[in-house]
Chains A and B, each alone.
Chain A
């Protein structure tokens, strides 16, 4: 059976379930609105499960598993970038368009450090790479910190839109700055692969090779995000961030130094972006100033999908978006339309749940 027939059956089934439950079970009980929300959540989860099952039915399971494993790398990149965006949004209440270019700047810096100082130094390969990644991340961290301290904090009349436009001005300024600062021939700006060997795997009786670099990238990302979320949960800094996120003014009154918190968030977001850029650069032959734009757009959409009001939701959003983007091209006839289908799905989900999958409603006062 073709993918579209199964897909249509899925959708019709879910709509019917919603209709009947809504009509016969919910209407008779109290507190309908809350329960309807729960129902929609459950149905969405059911949709994703059904979708995966449909994929397995239509596409050979080997291909599904193989492309899922292959997409892990991109998932990690998107998750890192999205976390940066969300950290800045929660503390400064603005969407940072300069995230991508900041990350690009970091990766350029890493490549310069690498080819000027580290390649001929005679260190072992893993140390060289670690140092380069650290240098790029640190550089983006510093630039992010400076942006907050010098520009965002000093803007006289700040509201979300004006901050947004400041970050766009930064995009322009950095786009011009990169060719001026890094004006050597383009062959110079390479980032070496983390690992070149690959792992032979047996999936359902087929022999497939998986590059080791994907595994390393996944491990590093999980470690970094794990540390970050642990810090958010258990340290004093994390408490400060959460307090600032829920209400900056009250947090300031309670003795949280919101300036330090915000500045650090900008720095950390820059660092996360640089890490993402470093991983993305693994798939490219050379760096260019606009190679992070796509990741950034997907990061915004992931944040909306997962909700801007939570820290964990956007990561789930990132996983869903990137998995779908990687899995759908396997279906016959969808090779070039995968992007359209995925973005339309996101749009529909957000129309159903305007605050995102994990968003909580905040009551608005007049």
Chain B
């Protein structure tokens, strides 16, 4: 008779089971962000909200870079499409958010398919620059259609309710958590493993019966859809974008794509939490430091220099990124504690012979 299944589960065991579940950390992150919300001022909320939109984009990009090994610099263009389409469809056409979402994401899927087909023909560093060219085309189209200035969203409504900054922030957190769960599931599924195989060796993957065409297209579609979603969220939160060629964050140019790449690499190309903290570090490190240390009055330029130096140092010495660094530190601390325990025993009970 099998008893295991009906065995009594103690509360402690249940708690351990819940904590060990992979979803737990992600949902806790969302809860923590929601708890911070009432206490955060205008600047901190803005910084966190922007970082969340970048995280959504970067998570899609991690499927591309971390799992499929494809380098793309067109992220800015895809995110820009999301932002401008939300602005245009809401301002000019008066569509509700859900229809806008469907229209934009289906457009992103078409675009992702096209780029996926291009990626079958062009590889490596060339693919990066071709996607950069694609992003430039998109940017030029924005400038031609909407002018080389700010483009504003008049009002953001969800189910007919006008959203203010706080409620939009809640929406952002919920969507980010959902996206994280999706990415987690994709990466643990046969799809994710097939992509990893494709990254390591294309020929070997093909020999095992993995269709390169299918998984490349899939990787690009996931990346473009999440990039467009991130762009929409950015527009909904910030209510203002511009295509001009300054290097401000949120402006959809080369700098944006590079920052996404940097966020993913700094965080660790396959780590969900790492990417979240990487986005925080790359985009809004200055605001967060200033919010944490109220009286420090840190110069913005010094922070930019600092984050540049941190990027360089991480790439130079810790190629696994922040997640790897955290793992290593944890291991080292564990070792240290074990060593101290042994020392303490030696001190207390004398040396074993």
Residues in B neighbouring A296, C-beta threshold 8 A: 254
Q: Is B130 an interface residue (CB 8 A)?
A: yes
Contacts A176-B304, A293-B247, A336-B143 known; A346 to B133 CB distance under 8 Å? yes
A95 to B203 Cα, complex, angstroms: 26
Q: Is B95 an interface residue (CB 8 A)?
A: no
Q: Is A210 an interface residue (CB 8 A)?
A: no
**A170 and B301 within 8 A (CB):** no
**A173 and B133 within 8 A (CB):** no
**B302 and A290 within 8 A (CB):** no
Residues in A neighbouring B144, C-beta threshold 8 A: 336-337, 340
**B307 and A172 within 8 A (CB):** yes
Residues in B neighbouring A337, C-beta threshold 8 A: 140, 144
Return the chain A residue nearest B148 by Cβ: A336
A42 to B265 Cα, complex, angstroms: 43
Q: Is B52 an interface residue (CB 8 A)?
A: no
Interface 9-residue window, one of B8-16, B172-180, B185-193, B308-316: B308-316
**B141 and A157 within 8 A (CB):** no
**A95 and B305 within 8 A (CB):** no
Contacts A172-B308, A303-B129 known; A179 to B301 CB distance under 8 Å? yes
A168 to B266 Cα, complex, angstroms: 12
A339 to B136 Cα, complex, angstroms: 9
Q: Is B96 an interface residue (CB 8 A)?
A: no
Q: Is B262 an interface residue (CB 8 A)?
A: yes
Smallest beta-carbon distance A35→chain B, Å = 20
**B132 and A162 within 8 A (CB):** no
Q: Is B37 an interface residue (CB 8 A)?
A: no
Contacts A155-B315, A351-B118 known; A169 to B133 CB distance under 8 Å? no
**B133 and A168 within 8 A (CB):** no
Partner of A95, one of B121, B128, B136, B245: B128
**A176 and B143 within 8 A (CB):** no
Within 8 A of A (CB), among B112-157: 118, 121-123, 125-126, 128-130, 132-134, 136-137, 140-141, 143-144
**A350 and B245 within 8 A (CB):** no
Contact mask for chain B residues 195-213; partner A; CB cutoff 8 A; 1 contact, 0 none: 0000001010000000000
**B143 and A351 within 8 A (CB):** no
A170 to B133 Cα, complex, angstroms: 22
Partner of B137, one of A160, A303, A308, A343: A343
Q: Is B39 an interface residue (CB 8 A)?
A: no
A154 to B302 Cα, complex, angstroms: 24
**A347 and B137 within 8 A (CB):** yes
A366 to B121 Cα, complex, angstroms: 18
Within 8 A of A (CB), among B63-100: 71
A171 to B309 Cα, complex, angstroms: 10
**A347 and B133 within 8 A (CB):** yes
Residues in B neighbouring A154, C-beta threshold 8 A: 316
Q: Is B181 an interface residue (CB 8 A)?
A: no
**A301 and B133 within 8 A (CB):** yes
Tell me the count of chain B residues lying within 8 A, CB to CB, of chain A.
49
**A177 and B312 within 8 A (CB):** no
Q: Is A297 an interface residue (CB 8 A)?
A: yes
Partner of B305, one of A160, A176, A346, A350: A176
Partner of A97, one of B123, B137, B258, B302: B258
Q: Is A354 an interface residue (CB 8 A)?
A: yes
Residue of B130, B133, B246, B303 with most chain A CB atoms under a 10 A cut-off: B133
Smallest beta-carbon distance A207→chain B, Å = 33
Residues in A neighbouring B241, C-beta threshold 8 A: none
Residues in A neighbouring B255, C-beta threshold 8 A: 171, 293
**B130 and A350 within 8 A (CB):** yes
Partner of B309, one of A173, A343, A347: A173
Smallest beta-carbon distance B146→chain A, Å = 11
Partner of B141, one of A160, A303, A340, A354: A340
**A290 and B246 within 8 A (CB):** yes
Q: Is B46 an interface residue (CB 8 A)?
A: no
**A156 and B319 within 8 A (CB):** yes
**B311 and A340 within 8 A (CB):** no
A16 to B108 Cα, complex, angstroms: 34
Residues in B neighbouring A347, C-beta threshold 8 A: 130, 133-134, 137
**B129 and A95 within 8 A (CB):** yes
Q: Is A266 an interface residue (CB 8 A)?
A: no
Contacts A160-B125, A290-B246, A304-B133 known; A176 to B311 CB distance under 8 Å? no
Question: Could you list some 6 contacts between A and B, CB below 8 A?
Answer: A166-B315, A168-B261, A173-B309, A173-B312, A293-B254, A339-B137
Instruction: With A169-B315, A340-B137, A355-B126 given, name 12 new contacts (CB 8 A).
Output: A155-B316, A162-B319, A169-B309, A170-B312, A176-B301, A177-B305, A179-B301, A293-B253, A293-B255, A300-B129, A308-B126, A347-B137
- Closest 8 CB pairs between A and B? A173-B308, A176-B304, A172-B308, A169-B311, A176-B305, A169-B312, A339-B140, A155-B316
Partner-A contacts on B (CB < 8 A): 71, 118, 121-123, 125-126, 128-130, 132-134, 136-137, 140-141, 143-144, 201, 203, 245-247, 253-255, 258, 261-262, 265, 299-312, 315-317, 319
Partner-B contacts on A (CB < 8 A): 95, 97, 151, 154-157, 160-162, 164-166, 168-177, 179-180, 289-290, 293-294, 296-297, 300-301, 303-304, 308, 336-337, 339-340, 343-344, 346-347, 350-351, 354-355, 366
